[in-house]
């Protein structure tokens, strides 16, 4: 392990983070709010960045350094990104929680009176989700495939061009394309929201939350605060878009117009959303007497929001009937598409596991048959199935363990399980105590630390973080 | 598919079932209860058996016939075994539920006033668990390995002698050995219970429930009715014994005395029980102020009972704190050892999945390393890992789907999830409405049918039943 390289790259990252902090500083200036929080944050972050940049080296980073950079990079961003919150009077642990929740685009919040905070602080809170979302896309499509992590070829296969060159130039080129797509989608949503009458400030914040699948809102009532079906449908549409593999958009534009319709993961993603929304519409109509069109509006918004692990809401789904809640729990487990900003297990993993099981059933009848799993007409190598399996096993193990810790700390079963999956799957809100109108503030200290770890681990596809905690990783 | 063979074997099975019904007839005679229920049951079952035996054939049964015989055999037993309950005045659906719960050694009950039923009926209710347990062992160690189902070699490896001969003589020989072990354990428990002052009738019934990991009790308070630590510890010990791979007992006696200690599954099973009992002891002590020795007694009994999926209780664990309940939920998912009478996912499957994940983590750091999963110092073939994966995927899919159905029918989330796993994992009691002192009677009709299917599917290792519902199975 070459520590110099890791520190050097982290230095560059912090310098960049310091630069980004100038934006909320401008917002604070515009609204006549205190500039101190951001001035101090910029100073601390930038100085630390430059100190680390002194470890300059010409060496290339390899596999191990790659894992360390990704995991520690997100951790460092969450730590330094928390400074503005601390300056705003939030306790360091809560500030760290909120910052990690932002950078991992989780959207679980410890704030209890959101509207009481300065606009610039809330802007920063939204912006870090957006930055996190940017990082996630690059991580998924450009970095993880190179590190050989869980389900790697799934994303690699979608990107054009050769993939066996040196890491650096390839990452930059891929990242650039993806960011342009991310920018364009962000821009379109802001325009759409402003045309619907939303202020620029609110449009930007809602866009941050949507395209990153983040889910923080500047309003306690979340998207419900706008009280507008029009805005809800715009948000739902862009949430749906954010939950799709971004590499597909590239292919659709430059390679094959029908990419989306041909892609099995996209089709399964859409089918699941429609099926779950249909059932949920029925349940809301049956259990609450809501008329069908309002039931559908509620259903499609929340199914998309929870399945993409965005976590924006238009109502307190914690008050729904248990069957309606169960649908949200199930889709939240599945998550968005690979290569999207969404979290969760990911649609493609679920799809491959289902195909794998169907094939095994077939083999039980025809034991001598040689048959593999296919995705988009291509064979899925055994090693991908293997890495998906271990991903899901470790994921479920962490899910159950952290739920157990929370319950030992005194939380009820539903709060424990949903807080665990809400953070590990980067969904945001859970149920009961941590429901959409609740807060993670009341969770005891140890519980908060576990949930912070969950967000970090879940966001970085489990392996990236877990590896850091194996003795094997630190061996020469 | 050769229907003749299937019908012929089912005929033999029903004739045998009719013979077994003579035992509760004797019990009814002894206690001066009505003989009619069993006379009619014997008549109907035996006549049907002889009718089917007319399909006599000299042909051997093959893979497909094997699946059909196992799945339909259990179904037929549950249907004909329900006749005495119907004669006792229980509704046909409830009688079928109770009978399936017995033959699958699930122990979920629809009875609400257990003590009001005749002794002979309750004896039959216990006896079918015991018969079911007998069937399970043979299914696991002798039949499934031959059919090539999920995790087959796991059990085959443990049995002595060659395994490639014709199916019939091999099954008989293996079955005989296993039944002797089953008889001996049953006998020892009855002796132990009688020495502790339990009546012969009660001893037999408690033994039926224990060695089969069944869990029905003749008392609403279950083992708590005896109000004796001595009897509780005897029951816990024999439950523990019933949760171990029976093939290991054979090996320990005739091949290698240290088999148990050397076996990784057994060690993991024991370690999990000790760890979960330790944590549960702490929680019961902390949350209820129960003294440590009573907490331990409660903890070890219920951890063993739920983990082996027996489901006997000495108290209403539904009243425990949520953290204590969560421990039971987690161990109930894991289940007993393969080749035991316990249900659930099975310890060895969980163990192999964990080993597999650890290996994948290692491979993420050393992508060129060639390394497989080992169990008991032997390599676990890829195909076993694959079959375990698809088993678990289908298992979880059924678990979630049936919970969803229950919740749509109006059950709360905890009842839905726990009723689903209690039946699919053949545990018996769930929580809330279906808790240890509750009953499955209040579940709506469709829900009961789903849960009956769960018991059937879960007991026969998923594949055996699921295959029957694939079009592939019925193709020429
Ligand atoms: K989120
Ligand atoms: K049971």
pLDDT at A157: 38
Q: How confident is the model at residue B363 (pLDDT cuts 50, 70, 90)?
A: confident
Q: Kindly report the nearest CA distance between residue B303 and chain A, in angstroms.
A: 15
Residue of A nearest to B465 (CA): A361
Say how many Å lie between the CA of residue A102 and the centre of ligand 1. 9
Has residue A432 been placed in a domain? yes
Q: Which structure tokens are listed for B320?
A: 């425990």
pLDDT at A403 over 90: yes
pLDDT at B154: 47
The answer to whether the beta carbons of residues B198 and B238 sit under 8 Å apart is no
CB contact under 8 A, B326 and A413: yes
Residue of A nearest to B387 (CA): A360
In Å, how far is B264's CA from the nearest CA of chain A? Answer: 19
What pLDDT was estimated at residue B146?
A: 67
Does residue A319 belong to the interface with chain B, where contact is any CB pair within 8 Å? no
Residue B170's pLDDT band, with cuts at 50, 70 and 90, is low
Residues of A in contact with B394 (CB under 8 A): 357, 361
The verdict on residue A464 lying in a domain is: yes
Q: Which residue has the tokens 């094959």?
A: A256
Residue linked to tokens 């119907």: B86
Residue B206 is predicted with a pLDDT of 97
State which residue of chain A sits closest to B149, comparing Cα positions.
A364
Question: How close A429 gets to chain B, by Cα (Å)?
Answer: 18
Tokens 């110092």 locate to: B377
Q: Is B366 helix (H, G, I), strand (E, B) or coil?
A: coil
Domain region containing B407: 384-474
Q: Is the pLDDT of residue A351 over 90?
A: yes
pLDDT digits 0-9 by tens, B202-218? 999 999 999 999 999 99
Q: What is the mean pLDDT of chain A?
A: 90
Instruction: Return residues 155-214 of B near A (CB < 8 Å).
Output: none
Q: How many domains does chain A have?
A: 1
Does the pLDDT value for residue A109 go beyond 70? Answer: yes
**Angstrom distance (rounded) from CA A65 to CA A55:** 14
Please report, rounded to a whole number, the percentage of residues in chain B having pLDDT higher than 70. 94
Least confident of A178-187, A270-279, B432-441, B467-476: B467-476
- The verdict on residue B455 lying in a domain is yes
pLDDT for the residue numbered B305? 97
C-alpha distances (whole Å) from A306 to each of A329, A363, B136, B299 are 8, 35, 41, 37
Residues 6+ apart with CB under 8 A from A165: none
Tell whether A428 is covered by a domain: yes
Evaluate if residue A352 carries a pLDDT over 80: yes
Gap between the Cα atoms of B293 and B304, Å rounded:
16
Residue B104's pLDDT band (boundaries 50, 70, 90)?
A: very high
What pLDDT score does A146 carry? 67
Q: Given CB atoms, is A272 within the 8 Å cutoff of chain B?
A: no
CA-closest candidate to residue B100, choices B433, B407, B458, B402: B458
Residue at token pair 């470790």: A394
Tokens 């009994």, located at residue: B301
Cβ pair B390:A357 closer than 8 A: yes
Test A323 with B404 for CB contact under 8 angstroms: yes
Residue B395 lies in a domain: yes
B251-268, pLDDT tens digit by residue? 888 778 888 999 999 999
Q: How far is CA A427 from CA A218, A419, B163, in A?
A: 17, 9, 51
Partner residues linked to A375 by β-bridges: A378
Give, for B455, the enclosing helix (H) or strand (E).
helix B445-459
- pLDDT, one tens digit per residue, over A117-156 is 999 999 999 999 999 999 988 887 777 766 665 444 444 4
B234-272 per-residue burial string, b: 16 or more CB within 10 A, e: under 16: bbbbbbbbbbbbbbbbbbbeeeeeebbeebbbbebbbeb
A411, B365: Cβ pair inside 8 Å?
no
- For residue A391, the model assigns a pLDDT of 92
Nearest by CB: B326 against A385, A387, A407: A407
- Provide the ipTM: 0.93
Whether B64 and chain A come into contact, CB under 8 Å, resolves to yes
Contact B393 A353 (CB under 8 A): yes
Residue A323 and residue B414: Cβ atoms within 8 Å? no
At B353 the pLDDT is 95
Closest partner CB to B148 (pick from A367, A387, A467):
A367
Q: Which of B322, B362, B412 faces A472 most closely, judged by CB atoms?
A: B362
Indicate if the pLDDT at residue A202 is higher than 90.
yes
Instruction: Name every chain B residue with its beta carbon within 8 A of the beta carbon of A359.
Output: 390
pLDDT over threshold 90, residue B361? no
Beta bridge partners of B45: none
DSSP β-bridge partners for residue B375:
B378
Query: Higher pLDDT residue, A307 or A383?
Result: A307
Is pLDDT above 80 for B185? yes
Identify the pLDDT of residue A152: 45
Q: What pLDDT was estimated at residue B163?
A: 36
Give mean pLDDT, residues B287-309.
95
User: Tokens 């019933």 belong to which residue?
Assistant: B242
* pLDDT in the model for residue B184: 95
Q: What is the pLDDT of residues A208-254, one digit of tens each?
A: 999 999 999 999 999 999 999 999 999 999 999 999 998 888 888 87
Flag whether B393 is in a domain: yes
The answer to whether A469 and A457 have CB atoms below 8 angstroms apart is: no
Put simply, whether A390 touches B (Cβ < 8 Å) is: yes
Asked if the Cβ–Cβ distance from B365 to A283 is below 8 Å, we say no
Q: Which of B 392-431 lie inside 8 A of A, CB atoms?
A: 393-394, 397, 400, 403-404, 407-408, 410-414, 416
pLDDT at residue A451 in the model: 98
Instruction: Give B267-297 pLDDT, tens digit per residue.
Output: 999 999 999 999 999 999 999 888 999 999 9
pLDDT in tens, A11-63: 999 999 999 999 999 999 999 999 999 999 999 999 999 999 998 887 777 77
- So what's the pLDDT on residue A169? 52
pLDDT on residue B156: 40
Tell me if B14 is assigned to some domain.
no
C-alpha of A384 from chain center = 22
Pair of tokens at residue A20: 């980004």
Domain contains B183:
no
pLDDT of A270 higher than 50: yes
- pLDDT tens digits, residue range B44-98? 999 999 999 998 887 777 778 888 999 999 999 999 999 999 999 999 999 999 9
Would you state the structure tokens that stand for residue A41, as one six-digit string? 């944050």
One-character DSSP codes across A120-164: HHHHHHHHHHHHHHHHHHHIIIIIHHHHT-TTHHHHHTTS-S---
The verdict on a CB contact (< 8 Å) between B404 and A470 is no
What is the sign, positive or negative, of the torsion defined by CA atoms of B346, B348, B351, B357?
negative
Round to whole Å and give the CA distance between B270 and B245.
12
- What is the tens place of the pLDDT at every residue in B107-138? 999 998 898 999 999 999 999 999 999 998 88
Contact B147 A463 (CB under 8 A): no
Cβ contacts (< 8 Å) between A148 and chain B: which residues?
A: 364, 367
Pick from A323, A364, A413: CB nearest B148: A364
- Between these two residues, B376 and B171, which has the higher pLDDT value? B376
- SS3 assignment, position B165: coil
Which chain B residues touch A470 with a CB distance below 8 Å?
Answer: 361, 365
Separation of alpha carbons A460 and B2, rounded Å: 53
pLDDT of residue A164: 36
Whole-number Å distance between alpha carbons of A415 and B393: 25
The confidence score (pLDDT) of residue B107 equals: 95
Q: Mutate which of A353, A390, A392 to test chain B, going by most B C-beta atoms within 10 A?
A: A390
Per-residue pLDDT at B247: 84
**What is the spatial distance between Cα A100 and Cα A423, in angstroms, rounded to a whole number?**
10
Test A357 with B389 for CB contact under 8 angstroms. yes
Helix (H, G, I), strand (E, B) or coil at B94: helix
Question: In this predicted structure, what is the pLDDT of residue A322?
Answer: 95
CA distances from B237 to A207, B195, B309, B344, B376 (A): 60, 15, 14, 19, 25
Give the nearest chain A residue to B68 (CA atoms).
Answer: A365
């Amino acid at each position: 392990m070459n520590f110099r390289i890791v520190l050097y790259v982290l230095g560059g990252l912090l310098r960049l983070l310091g630069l980004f902090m100038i934006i909320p500083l401008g917002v604070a200036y515009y609204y006549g709010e205190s500039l101190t929080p951001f001035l101090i944050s910029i100073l601390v972050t930038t100085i630390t960045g430059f100190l680390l940049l002194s470890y300059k080296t010409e060496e290339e980073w390899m596999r191990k350094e790659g894992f360390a950079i990704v995991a520690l990079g997100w951790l460092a961003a969450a730590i330094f990104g928390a400074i503005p919150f601390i300056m705003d009077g939030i306790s360091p642990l809560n500030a760290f929680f909120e910052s990690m929740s932002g950078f991992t685009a989780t959207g679980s919040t410890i704030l209890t009176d959101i509207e009481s905070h300065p606009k610039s602080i809330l802007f920063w809170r939204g912006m870090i989700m957006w930055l996190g979302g940017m990082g996630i896309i690059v991580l998924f499509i450009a970095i993880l495939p190179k590190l050989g992590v869980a389900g790697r070829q799934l994303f690699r296969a979608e990107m054009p061009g050769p993939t066996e060159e040196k890491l650096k130039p390839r990452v930059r080129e891929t990242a650039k394309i993806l960011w342009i797509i991310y920018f364009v989608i962000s821009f379109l949503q802001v325009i759409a929201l402003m045309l619907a009458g939303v202020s620029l400030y609110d449009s930007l914040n809602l866009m941050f939350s949507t395209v990153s699948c983040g889910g923080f809102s500047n309003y306690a009532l979340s998207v419900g605060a706008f009280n507008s079906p029009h805005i809800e449908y715009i948000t739902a549409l862009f949430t749906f878009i954010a939950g799709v593999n971004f590499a597909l958009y590239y292919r659709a534009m430059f390679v094959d117009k029908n990419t989306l319709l041909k892609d099995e993961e996209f089709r399964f993603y859409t089918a699941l959303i429609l099926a779950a929304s249909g059932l949920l519409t029925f349940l809301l109509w049956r259990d609450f007497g809501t008329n069908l069109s309002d039931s559908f509006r509620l259903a499609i918004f929340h199914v998309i929001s929870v399945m993409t692990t965005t976590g924006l809401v238009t109502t307190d789904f914690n008050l729904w009937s248990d069957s309606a809640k169960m649908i949200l729990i199930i889709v939240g487990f599945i998550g968005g598409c690979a290569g999207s900003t969404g979290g969760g297990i990911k649609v493609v993993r679920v799809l491959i596991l289902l195909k794998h099981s169907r094939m095994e059933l077939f083999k039980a009848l025809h034991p001598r048959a040689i048959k593999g799993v296919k995705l988009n007409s291509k064979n899925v190598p055994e090693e991908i199935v293997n890495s998906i399996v271990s991903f899901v096993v470790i994921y479920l193990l962490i899910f159950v363990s952290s739920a157990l810790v929370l319950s030992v700390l005194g939380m009820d079963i539903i709060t424990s399980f949903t807080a665990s999956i809400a953070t590990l799957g980067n969904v945001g809100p859970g149920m009961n105590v941590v429901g959409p109108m609740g807060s993670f503030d009341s969770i005891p200290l140890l519980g908060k630390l576990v949930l912070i770890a969950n967000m970090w681990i879940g966001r970085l596809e489990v392996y990236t973080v877990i590896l850091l905690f194996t003795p094997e990783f630190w061996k020469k």
